[in-house]
Structure 1
Amino acid sequence: MKISKLASIFFCLLTFQAYGQAYDFIVDGKGSGDFETIQAAIDQVPVFRKKETSIFIKNGVYKEKLTIPQNRENITLIGESSEKTVISFDDFASKKNRFGENLGTSGSSSVYIYANDFTAKSLTFENSFGAGSQAVAVLVSGDRVIFDNCRFLGFQDTLYPKKEGSRQYYKNCYIEGATDFIFGWATAVFEDCEIFSRKGGKYITAASTNKADDFGFVFINCKLTSDAPDQSVYLGRPWRPDAKTVYLSCEFGQHIHPEGWHNWNKPEREQTAFYAEFNCFGPGAGDQQRVKWSHKLSSREMVFYRFKYIFDDWVPNTESVLFKSNTN
């Protein structure tokens, strides 16, 4: 009995040394942390706090519909493991609310991020509903948002970088879906990410970039993988007329359709959308059959794909050789 009690105290001390000194709050669904739910920890962050609030989340599946409100800025969520620390919910667009109304696409999201200067590391964000309806895993409207080593799991409309003017950076992430699974108005850079197209879908991106914005979705050194049939998946289609999506030095799998891009059956959008590739490779990267209205960027045009142009005055902390050499 005495040995067991000493062992318990020793374990608690080790836990404090590992987690307690480095983070403001610890979340553990099993009860050993400061909170058992992530939302409870978020709710205790002082509104409009200027300093970072770090929240460590221990392994487990947290089934909660999580909201980071606009007045909770500078929050960093750190998972214990990107594959074993999971935030999951299963709402979907056609599900009814208490008033008998559809939740809608935005209402289906498992996680809402409205605050500025939010960072997530080593977490999985999931909408587990599956096929049959739009079902968002994460909706992001905050500005200067970073996801590092995170996973996004869903089917249709997995990741929603929603708000125009929002700047978002995704580094070493895994994003999975089938139809339009990266979509929205925001300016978002995806670097060193794996983009996995699930069988049953046809389109990766559905940007809705505003006409006045120079950049929409930018993929850099990403790997596009799939379990879909060969030559069955398009790189993107324009949700709105001025959609902008660019792939730079990406590896395309065999699943990419030879035409590359789709016009959403609206030929007039071929005149306004900007879809481009530069230095991409792999079996799906052949440009012989690409639609004529897409673009091949030149080395000279690449000068504009730097953080200081894409994100204006914000340069995320990044190990990118491409961006670090071009931000002075």
Structure 2
Amino acid sequence: MPATIERSALAVMAISAALVGLAAALHFLGAGPIPNFAACALALAAIAHLIGEATDELGNYLGPAATGIVQSAVGNLPELFIAIFALQSGLVAVVQASLIGSILGNALLVLGLAFVMGGAKHGVLKFEGQAPRMMAVLLLLAVCALVLPTLAQEMHLPAGAHEQALAVVCAIVLLIVFAAQTRAMLAQGQRTVPAEARKRAHAWPLGLAAGVLAICGVAAALVSDWFVETLEPAIEVLGISQVFAGLVVVAIAGNAVENVVGIRLAIEGKADFAVSVVLNGALQVAVALIPILILVSFVLGGTPFTLAIPPILAVSLFLSVLVVTVVTVDGRADIVDGAALIGLYVIIATIFWWG
């Protein structure tokens, strides 16, 4: 069986296993918060990358649409586990910031890097397909559903006194949107990540792909628990705010590494696929991960997760997605557009450095 697998894939598995083993060793040996924090962050990034690889290999057996659904469900496991354990530890600010950071990290940082690197090689990138523009508009609509509860609370509207009930309603609405998107994907035979995103000379056996996904799911749960345990001590040692840690560090560790495929596609000149991959990563967090986490938080007890976030975070999210929509709606982007998106991400991250 190993003979049918590329050496690069075996190397990814080995590196991921080594990083998880390192994180486990440092956790159980009681190493300091910074080594534990760094090891867990690297392990989570490796797990997210390996989940993406294994899910893509399932496309050889399940078909494009079914693979897209599996990827949407499994690809966000590291972020979901981090958020659940963080809520149980009372780190609500970290959870809010990490989920918003996942959207911003994809929509601004990763997409900006894709435009910069793709534009540097090919000049103006053109993406004439309807999928990127549809995702950008749908992401803007989803973000409106996330921002409005904050406005209701800040403006002292009657709905602001019922933030938990409002959060549940918004979660259900977003899940209905997600269901509609999934139905359209199945009907049209689309998938989350196009087949051209990761072509392999040798397909993994079905049992291996399924086994890797199962092991990654267990590893994601364990490492996420260790990661959250070291989060507060590491934040205190580093002297950064919880919001900055969630917005940048946690978001990148749990999500952005897997979407490096979008940057590679832009470099290869496949702008349609690059924009679709990156925007879909942000969209899945907005319409699937956040609503699921809201409902799960009420079931598990502990600190409930609502959509009433700090106003500056809500404004940053809305303006960022609005800028992304404007940039992508004409189907053209270049290195200047990419630099602008990256610059906006840096400005937002800097604002939250102090809390």
TM-score range, shorter chain: under 0.3
Highest RCO, 1 vs 2 (Cα 8 Å, sep ≥ 6): 2
TM-score of the superposed pair, with normalisation by structure 1 = 0.27
| Structure whose alpha-carbon radius of gyration is higher | 1
Q: Which has the higher strand share?
A: 1
Q: Which has the higher helix share?
A: 2
